[in-house]
Structure 1
Amino acid sequence: MADTCPCGTGRGYAACCGPLHEGSPAPDAEALMRSRYSAYVLEDAAYLLRSWHASTRPADLSFDEPPARKPAWLKLEVKSHAATGEDTAEVIFVARYRIGGGSVVRMREHSRFVREGGRWFYLDAVVD
């Protein structure tokens, strides 16, 4: 793996998303969202499930698509991060990816997060 973290901060993976993937709590919802993007890039389904709130978490998550159907994650841009309460926050981001030799897809998401027991969890995405 490259030393630079996939999440786009410019920091090294070992000082950025790596510790979160190994179990350290995210300091805020933006850090959790960035670590989840990195987990998609690295196909770390276990981390994605652990960081997903129990009320909305799928039973399983797989990266078993054929190579021609797998997204190649290209870039993450965080547009905004806002606390919406003491233990809730929202992050708006744009992620770019390509499937096979196709065009670049721009995915915009408005995600909601909740903190329980001192840990942030991805709750869901809302339609703007």
Structure 2
Amino acid sequence: MSTKHTTTTTSTDNFDEQLIGPFAIVPKTDCHHLADRMYTLPQSARRVNGRQPPCTDCGETKENWVCLEENCQQIGCSRYQQKHMLAHHESTGHGICLSLSDNSFYCYACESYIDSPKLAQINQQLIDMQ
């Protein structure tokens, strides 16, 4: 009696070698929506008693984002809450923001997580706050 062997391919067999795992996100490094300046952490993004600042619109205190447009202090909740940061982008065109949950950067215009040397100063400020 012979046994028939089959090879099954899963989605993790063909994942990009640059990824750390099958669910890792590789940020875009060439976002042309970033202004020609070094970005700094807005004062409104500072934690209060160890908590994220509340969403400007609904008061939510988890999964919030801060707008990184110069002179904008908007804090908005995520698309998994009431989507106030997305609404801010849609009404103002401000596209670059920082997650106050995991310190990732996102560009709404690119619809992608991003990374750039222009964001290095914010990364350093976040490290210094720890």
Q: TM > 0.5 between the two?
A: no
TM-score, normalization by structure 1: 0.23
Q: Which one has the largest radius of gyration? A: 2
TM-score (norm. length: structure 2): 0.22
Instruction: Point out the structure with the larger strand share.
Output: 1
